[in-house]
Structure 1
């Protein structure tokens, strides 16, 4: 593990039927080659693509009975 905190690995948490939580700040590269950034402490990335603010999770997956799949 690096001694400098800025060089430590980012923590990524995969949640059941929900978003992927990533310690920020983050830069997300999208399929079309563009990128979006967030400087938040933790960001929620949409795993189901139902979010109106994709790639950020807006909890749209909760509107279905079976969760995010």
Structure 2
């Protein structure tokens, strides 16, 4: 299906201006929508120290996804 690039996407902006379209949201990354990259990095550091590795993986995946989206 071809999408019209002139139609605005619905979504959310994070604190640092990253736009997250609704179609890219799921239950695992919904809690990170409003977080800035700095906040995500601080959350990652805190969870590493607390040895919450499943949460670390979710945060890491969100950071990587944002980095890929910006390139």
Normalised to the residue count of structure 1, the TM-score between the two structures is 0.24
Normalised to the residue count of structure 2, the TM-score between the two structures is 0.24
Question: Larger helix proportion, structure 1 or 2?
Answer: 2
